[in-house]
Amino acid sequence: MNKEDNKDIIIGQNITFSYKDRIILDNQSFSFKKGEHIGIIGESGSGKSTFLKLLAGLLSPSSGTLSVDSESDPTKIMKKISMVMQDAMIMPLTIRENIALGKEIKKERMDEIIKATRLDLWTDSLPEGIDTYLGERADELSGGQAQRIAIARAIAKDADIILLDEPTSSLDKDTIKDVMEALETLIDRKSVIHVTHQTDLLKGYHRILKIGGGRIYE
Amino acid sequence: MNKEVIKMLKVCGVWKMFLIMLILRFPFDILNSVIKANLMQCFIHMIRQNQKENLWFNVVLFFTLSALLFGYNMSIWSTIAVKTTVLLQTKLRKKIYEKILDLSPREMSEESKGDWFTALNNDVDNACAYLTSPLNYMHMVIALVNLVLSSIIMIFLNVELYVIGICCLLPFFFLNVMVISRKITFFKERAKKSLVKYTDWIEVSLKEKSLLSVYDAKEFVYEKIEKQSLNILKENMKAHNRMCICNALYAFSGMLGYLLLLFRGSDIIEEDKTDLAGLTKMTQYRSETVRSVNCIYSSVNNMNASIVGVRRINEIIGGENNG
């Protein structure tokens, strides 16, 4: 972590948060520093994924304040983060459109993203390359291909904060290795909050926190 | 009957019930035509001969016969029709659902979720509409029988007036069926494809709400939904416009035939070959032929639109035959 960047980028103060009649956080305070890589673990159903949605501004706390990169307005928070979930969102579009999602991305930048996520190993074999229409066949993509598209989308957004929600949990061992390589490009020099059951994926992370019983603790 | 429809009815095992429904509907239209034509002739006769007491008797008789006929149609036949429709809908949905459950994940992924939703809802509705809704297959067959029987009666009454009437109808009928309405199926197929894509995008917008917010892509997805929605509207409008042209041509041909019939009819009355009551009876039967041809026009158009659903259902449940 760079010392110059040693400031808190996410600050939660006295946050109480329930979801579907279950208390996820009960008057908890926490802070994550810029460039810090945080692993979040916990039992199934402890609210790890819901916690990520809270950080992303998709859900609001019942009480307390949450600030993400000095913003507390959920719409502005969303602009500061990228998210990769367990199930990659693949739409009936071309690979390029699935990455750009309607935004203008220059060819050089797109080529960089495709190489960084190693999507080129696959797209180079396709007659229409990254302009291949996934359409109704989107479900036929392998988990690794779909997840690499999701990571490419996150890289394209170039947000400072990356939220990862078990992005490799549905993949086999060989594919996990490939996807982790792509993830490393995404999280390099970014603030990362990574929810996972697979603690071995959190090697080298600055802190590992646990969620459970309404608390978040080291 | 269309091969695709027979196949679907056999697979669902409801073709006997459908046949009974069809046979039970036949007497209604032709009896209605005969009652109307004969009573109109009687009324004119009685008015001309000043037989007011008989006129009242005939009014009551006409009312009673019509009430019995419509009572039969609205109670007995309608009950059977509703039961057959519900049974057909249930069986079709069950067959499609069973087929979906039998598919391997790979086969399942060959179609989008929008395809399956459209098959279970819109396609089933289309197939049932083809068979049982007004102005579809059922009415076309009944109208055809009515047309043939009305034509036989007209030929028996006066061949010349029949030829005048039919010559004004048939060219327009063939123009409509062979040229104008032909593309309706094509437009409806394109509308159906857009409906599948529309359903897919709706699913994306609901399922991926969180990620769409994070990537600021809600507007992008709404544009896709709007585009498909407009495509559905555009293709349906094209089909609708064709139907409007067909209806306009039908109205024109009907009016032309009526005028020619009256011109020639007045000559025939002058020649003492018939009287006003006879001409009225003739125009009643002619109205029935026009109504039947119009019903066939509209039914063919609607069937062209609905057959898309039947084809898609057969593609899904095809291969089975337990009829």
**Does residue A137 have a pLDDT over 80?**
no
Q: Would you list the domain boundaries of chain B?
A: 3-317
Sheet of strand A63-68, all strands in order from the earlier edge strand to the far edge: A22-33, A8-19, A63-68
Sign of CA dihedral B203, B207, B213, B216: negative
Chain A contact set for B214 (CB, 8 A)? 56, 58, 78, 81-83
Please state the rounded mean pLDDT for residues A82-89. 87
**Does residue B16 have a pLDDT over 90?**
no
Q: In the CATH scheme, what architecture does the domain A3-217 have? A: 3-Layer(aba) Sandwich (3.40)
Secondary structure, 3-state, A130-181: HHCECHHHHHHCCHHHHHHHHHHHHHHHCCCEEEEECCCCCCCHHHHHHHHH
Cα(A81)–Cα(A159) distance, integer angstroms: 5
Q: What is the per-residue pLDDT for A138?
A: 61
The alpha-carbon gap from A136 to the nearest alpha carbon of chain B, in Å, equals: 5
The alpha-carbon gap from B216 to the nearest alpha carbon of chain A, in Å, equals: 8
Chain B contact set for A81 (CB, 8 A)? 214
Q: Which two tokens stand for residue A129?
A: 């390359």
Contact between B201 and A92 using a beta-carbon 8 Å cutoff = yes
- Of the pLDDT bands very low, low, confident and very high (cuts 50, 70, 90), residue B323 is very low
Q: Which two tokens stand for residue A46?
A: 């402890």
Q: Which residue has the higher pLDDT, B160 or B117?
A: B160
Range among A99-108, A112-121, B201-210 with highest mean pLDDT value:
A99-108
Cα(A172)–Cα(A198) distance, integer angstroms: 12
- Whether B89 and B124 have beta carbons less than 8 Å apart is answered as yes
Q: What is the per-residue pLDDT for B322?
A: 39
Cα(B251)–Cα(B88) distance, integer angstroms: 35
Cα(A69)–Cα(A80) distance, integer angstroms: 7
Q: What is the per-residue pLDDT for B109?
A: 65
Cα(B276)–Cα(B284) distance, integer angstroms: 12
Express as a percent the part of chain A with pLDDT over 70.
95
A 84-123 residues with CB < 8 A to B = 85, 89, 91-92, 101-102
CATH class of residue range B3-317: mainly alpha
Contact between A101 and B109 using a beta-carbon 8 Å cutoff = no
Element housing B100 (H / E): helix B78-102
SS3 content of chain A, % helix, strand, coil (to 5): 35, 30, 35
Element housing B132 (H / E): helix B124-132
Mutate to test the interface with B, among A136, A145, A151 (most CBs of B within 10 A): A136
The alpha-carbon gap from A175 to the nearest alpha carbon of chain B, in Å, equals: 20
Facing residue for B214 by CB, picked from A83, A135, A139 = A83
Q: Which two tokens stand for residue A98?
A: 């699935």
Phi, psi (5° rounding) for residue B294?
-60, -40
**Does residue B282 have a pLDDT over 80?**
yes
Q: What is the per-residue pLDDT for B321?
A: 41
Q: What is the per-residue pLDDT for B146?
A: 87
Q: What is the per-residue pLDDT for B71?
A: 87
**Does residue A97 have a pLDDT over 90?**
yes
Q: Model confidence over B218-265: pLDDT tens digits?
A: 899 999 999 999 999 999 999 888 888 887 887 888 888 888 988 998
pTM of the predicted model as reported, rounded to 2 decimal places: 0.69
DSSP letter assigned to residue A189:
T
Please state the rounded mean pLDDT for residues A151-167. 90
Contact between A78 and B223 using a beta-carbon 8 Å cutoff = no
Please state the rounded mean pLDDT for residues B208-226. 90
- Of the pLDDT bands very low, low, confident and very high (cuts 50, 70, 90), residue A41 is very high
- Whether A167 and A175 have beta carbons less than 8 Å apart is answered as no
- Whether A161 and A193 have beta carbons less than 8 Å apart is answered as yes
Q: Would you list the domain boundaries of chain A?
A: 3-217
Contact between B213 and A78 using a beta-carbon 8 Å cutoff = yes
A 119-178 residues with CB < 8 A to B = 135-140, 153, 157
Reduced to 3 states (helix: H, G, I; strand: E, B; else coil), residue B50 is coil
Contact between B221 and A58 using a beta-carbon 8 Å cutoff = no
Secondary structure, 3-state, A1-47: CCHHHCCEEEEEEEEEEEECCEEEEEEEEEEEECCCEEEEECCCCCC
Q: What is the per-residue pLDDT for A18?
A: 86
Mutate to test the interface with B, among A49, A94, A139, A153 (most CBs of B within 10 A): A139
Cα(A197)–Cα(A184) distance, integer angstroms: 18
Look-up of token digits 């019995």: B68
Contact between A58 and B208 using a beta-carbon 8 Å cutoff = no
Please state the rounded mean pLDDT for residues A145-160. 89
Look-up of token digits 């509209």: B298
Cα(A202)–Cα(A214) distance, integer angstroms: 23
